[in-house]
A = this chain, B = another copy of it.
Amino acid sequence: MTFKILYKDKKTNARLGLLTTKSGDIETPFFMPVATKATAKYLSTDDLISMKAKASISNAFLLSVRPNSETIRNAGGLSKFMSFNGITFTDSGGFQMYSPHIYLKSNDSGVFFKDPLNGEKFFITPEKNMKIQLEIGADVAMCLDTMPLLEHSKSAITEAVRKTTLWAKKCKEIHNNLQKKISKNKRQLLFGITQGGIYSDIRELSVKQLVEINFDGYALGGLALGESKEEEYKMIEISKLLLPEEKPVYLMGAGNPLELLEAISRGIDIFDSRFPTKSARRGTLFTSKGRISISNQKYKFDKSPIDFSCSCFVCKNYSKSYIRHLVSQEEGSGMRLTSYHNLFFLISLLEKVRDAIKKGSFNHFKEKFKKTYKDYINIEEK
């Protein structure tokens, strides 16, 4: 069994599970840092390990262009290439369909991308994508999907779901065939990605179609893009009603602490997001009392750490005043320290969440956190 639920919360739909992959087991719910090109921005793999990140997600398409899949296969796969001792995920690269400098067009067979550096064109089909992801050798691969944007029309989103299902079927078939001769415990897992924007009927259709194909896990795509939290949580709820209880569910792109707790209480198991590191580079930092903006003038002489309750090495060693200086000078070291802190914050938060689920106190933990954590503490004060 790939996924086993060990504890269920009584007051919410939160659960603690164990996901088994070819590289080992990982407890859910977990948050994984984004390592698009086999490295998190400004952080090295040893940083990920020291912050206890047990998983990371990279972009298969971008890695297949540079360094290329062969280099990574030659290293013994993605985790060995980047010297990571955790679980690796690869996203197909379908997400890049919204990078106008990379995406050209798509049809029922696949997607045309161009290399922004030299103009070289690539046609990525579900077949090619599955081959690439197997060559890169992450523990969990994601289907090639078509992600509509929030502002797209209902008919465009319906069309995106049609294509996503079509490709999901192909991905599953090819992925199965390519791994036929591999023993079960060495197989790469494959997750399907559901779409549907914030339209309940299309989202339900997408979930039903993907469940029929039967994946090792299911992702909710096209969310955490700027829709209201109510809309996002509603999409999680209606999806969870249709998704099999015994399969892990991955909410792609969510990285706000409060959002994570709400999603977990609705039964989400896996998270990734650029938000913590992107915010960090702009000086927006998580603390136990809420988000702060380190650029705020009031921190100029502040000798205290970012967060007294945080046990990361950044909070142990550096003052707000110093971090503020590094961030304002756009020093790479500042980017690293703030990124480290924000990721450490989320990873520790999920550790506490798992602990609370085990102890049966998740709902209490969540409510307490919601009371203390102010999402915009300093942004308002500015």
Residues of A within 8 A of B (CB): 37-47, 66-67, 70-71, 74-75, 81-83, 300-301, 303, 313, 317-319, 321-322, 324-326, 328-329, 331-337
Contacts and interface: CB of A to CB of B under 8 A. Distances in A.
Given A329-B37, A331-B39, A322 B66 contact: no
Given A313-B46, A332-B335, A336-B44, A318 B39 contact: no
B42 A325 contact: no
Contact of A71 (B67, B71, B325): B325
Nearest to A37: B329
Contacts of A43: 333
Contacts of A40: 333
Contacts of A319: 75, 81, 83
B321 A67 contact: yes
Contact of A42 (B39, B70, B332): B332
Given A44-B337, A66-B329, A75-B322, 12 more contacts: A40-B333, A41-B331, A42-B331, A42-B336, A44-B318, A67-B321, A67-B325, A71-B325, A75-B319, A83-B317, A332-B335, A332-B336
A82 to B, nearest CB: 6
A301 B41 contact: no
A300 to B, nearest CB: 6
The quantity of this chain's copies bound in the complex is: 2
Contacts of A329: 37, 39, 66
Nearest to A39: B333
Contact of A67 (B70, B324, B335): B324
B328 A66 contact: yes
7 contacts: A37-B329, A38-B325, A40-B333, A41-B332, A46-B313, A75-B303, A336-B336
Contacts of A313: 46
A272 to B, nearest CB: 18
Contact of A39 (B37, B46, B321, B334): B334
Nearest to A81: B322
A38 B322 contact: yes
B82 A45 contact: no
A22 to B, nearest CB: 20
A320 to B, nearest CB: 11
A43 B303 CA distance: 21
B333 A44 contact: yes
Nearest to A42: B332
